[in-house]
Structure 1
């Protein structure tokens, strides 16, 4: 693996996520597609202002939502500490974000505060609970939207990746299924940063990491999901997710994306196939689909994510990271980088993090 290529893909993943976030700012959460087309035309191609009375009202095209702001906070912590430092991340949340919130949805940096962050704010600020007792049951992708930076940092260290992502996600979301899918997404992103393809074989590579104990998923089957043999011991469950199914989803979806017998045309209608709402089980299949269908076409991947409506901002963040990891920063059209507010600052942070990929996990601690 050429170091320069890995760094290009790592930076592409981070910038892809920021671009996806900003692209979704204007047309966020339109569940009526006719209304979306009426407000933004038949095809959204770039950053847009939110409309009056809609989510993120008052913000401007190219700015980040709160998801992007928290991702930037995570990125700064990783870069400055040289590793995932939970105490440092929590301190930044306490000092830089929580004082700007009031516990209501339509408030705070980025113009909207998500369910899991509102819940953590109430427990931390109002109830004075310590971090570690702040998680809730939101079934959304909000943890992925910040931990994707952890996945990039530990792209070649799967055990450290899984531990850090799981620990950080638990700060706001404690449902085991959500956690397993969050870690699975991070593992997928890490393989793409390494240079693997999002295809029918990717899940086998992830399962190999399960079998070697590097990813904490419980699995009783042998390779190719063959049944256990008589006398095989039951693998220990302690510290492991209940099943590896979240690791199998990407290859099934990628197979569908490249099968001419399973047409989804145009590709933005993936939001209708897998669902437009916010829940993680709607969002991940759509993001995997678009990234697998447009593996070297960043623009098509993110624009189809945005034009599908519903929770298109999260879909575009997740798709943007996956597509950016495949195309690399060098493969992202310059206009998306130029139109991003503080794009050069974000790019420098992305490059600084990319330079840390492969460094010892305990660096900076």
Structure 2
């Protein structure tokens, strides 16, 4: 991949995530779609300011709430350290983030702190537990929202990508299913940064990485998906996810998105099909669907993610990273870049991250 193309994809993935997150600041967590339309009209098409009394009230259109704040913290750690440095990441959380929290949902930068970070704060700050013992069982996409920067940095090194994403995830979320689905999402993003499409074959590519030992997923099937005899099955390795199902989901959904016999109309209703809540098993499938359906149209992808209501901020952030990686920064509408806070600084960090990848 030419360096200029790599930089465009890296920047597209990261700015795509920041843009998707900021688009959700105003219309976040409307599970009543009639209320969403009453406050923002029939179609949210740009950044909006939260209504008084809503989540993120006090922020302005184009600003980031906490997921964007944490993604930026992770990105800066990667850029300034030149690689993933867990000790540096934890130090930044200890000194720059946790002092801003008070343990309540509405406390902290951005107007809302997720369950997983509140649990980590209580164990780390109030109970004094060390890192490695503060993770909880929240099933949200909080870890994916920050580790997507790690996935971009190690897109060409899937073994490191999986190891670093998995290690960072368990700092706040210890459920192995959450870890598997988060790592799978980041592995998909890594392939898109490489230049692969989000199509029906993406799961085949992911499973090839499993068989080569580069992704830590256990499998009981051979290349042709024929069952392996029990006598020939390798024993699962420590740290290996029990099932490859999280890697098979993206290909199945991409196939459905391209199948004229399987239509979700309008596409924002993917939130109704896959579910509007925060859990990973609602969010990742919807993001895969919208990214596969609008693989060459960043605006359509993120706006359909936003207009589906519910946890639309995470949906748009995850979708924005996927489609941004495929189309590149050059194909993201300028109004989204121009209206995003600190866009120039964030593009510079993305440029520096791409330079690290080129030198690796």
> Which range, TM-score by smaller chain?
over 0.9
- Written as runs of structure 1 = structure 2, the 5 A alignment for 1:195-206 is 195-206=195-206
Alpha-carbon offset, residue 191 of structure 1: 0.2
Judging changes above 3 Å, is the alpha-carbon distance between structure 1 residues 243 and 359 closer, same or farther for their aligned structure 2 residues?
farther
After superposition, what is the alpha-carbon deviation per residue over 1:225-262, rounded to whole angstroms, capped at 9, x for unaligned? 11114641334332200011100000000011111111
| SS of equivalent residue, structure 2 residue 210 | helix
After superposition, what is the alpha-carbon deviation per residue over 1:154-204, rounded to whole angstroms, capped at 9, x for unaligned? 000001001100010000000000000000001000000000010010000
| SS of equivalent residue, structure 1 residue 130 | coil
Q: Which residue of 2 aligns with 1:363?
A: none
Q: Which residue of 1 aligns with 2:67?
A: 67
Q: Which residue of 1 aligns with 2:44?
A: 44
Structure 2 CA distance, aligned partners of 1:123 and 1:105? 16
Q: Which residue of 2 aligns with 1:57?
A: 57
Structure 2 CA distance, aligned partners of 1:3 and 1:217? 31
After superposition, what is the alpha-carbon deviation per residue over 1:270-310, rounded to whole angstroms, capped at 9, x for unaligned? 00000000000000000000000001100000000000000
Q: Which residue of 2 aligns with 1:344?
A: 344
The answer to whether the 8 Å contact 1:257/1:293 transfers is yes
Judging changes above 3 Å, is the alpha-carbon distance between structure 1 residues 289 and 82 closer, same or farther for their aligned structure 2 residues?
same
After superposition, what is the alpha-carbon deviation per residue over 1:201-232, rounded to whole angstroms, capped at 9, x for unaligned? 00000000000000000011011311114641
Q: Which residue of 1 aligns with 2:194?
A: 194
Structure 2 CA distance, aligned partners of 1:86 and 1:245? 28
Structure 2 CA distance, aligned partners of 1:176 and 1:224? 27
Alpha-carbon offset, residue 351 of structure 1: 1.5
Structure 1 CA distance, aligned partners of 2:151 and 2:27? 28
What is the aligned-residue RMSD (CA, Å)?
0.9
Alignment length (residue pairs): 360
Q: Which residue of 2 aligns with 1:321?
A: 321
Structure 2 CA distance, aligned partners of 1:39 and 1:142? 26
- Written as runs of structure 1 = structure 2, the 5 A alignment for 1:72-91 is 72-91=72-91
Structure 2 CA distance, aligned partners of 1:354 and 1:318? 20
Structure 2 CA distance, aligned partners of 1:291 and 1:335? 20
Q: Which residue of 2 aligns with 1:182?
A: 182
- Written as runs of structure 1 = structure 2, the 5 A alignment for 1:198-237 is 198-229=198-229, 231-237=231-237
Q: Which residue of 1 aligns with 2:160?
A: 160
| SS of equivalent residue, structure 2 residue 357 | coil
Q: Which residue of 2 aligns with 1:147?
A: 147
Q: Which residue of 2 aligns with 1:293?
A: 293
After superposition, what is the alpha-carbon deviation per residue over 1:127-146, rounded to whole angstroms, capped at 9, x for unaligned? 01111111000001000000
| SS of equivalent residue, structure 2 residue 15 | helix
| SS of equivalent residue, structure 2 residue 232 | coil
The answer to whether the 8 Å contact 1:155/1:358 transfers is no
Of 116-125 and 349-358, the range deviating more from structure 2: 349-358
Structure 1 CA distance, aligned partners of 2:233 and 2:27? 52
- Where structure 1 has 5 or more consecutive residues not aligned to the other structure, the ranges are 361-365
After superposition, what is the alpha-carbon deviation per residue over 1:67-105, rounded to whole angstroms, capped at 9, x for unaligned? 100000000000000000000001111111111110000
- Written as runs of structure 1 = structure 2, the 5 A alignment for 1:8-157 is 8-157=8-157
Structure 1 CA distance, aligned partners of 2:311 and 2:80? 32
Structure 1 CA distance, aligned partners of 2:299 and 2:28? 18
| SS of equivalent residue, structure 1 residue 255 | helix
| SS of equivalent residue, structure 1 residue 77 | helix
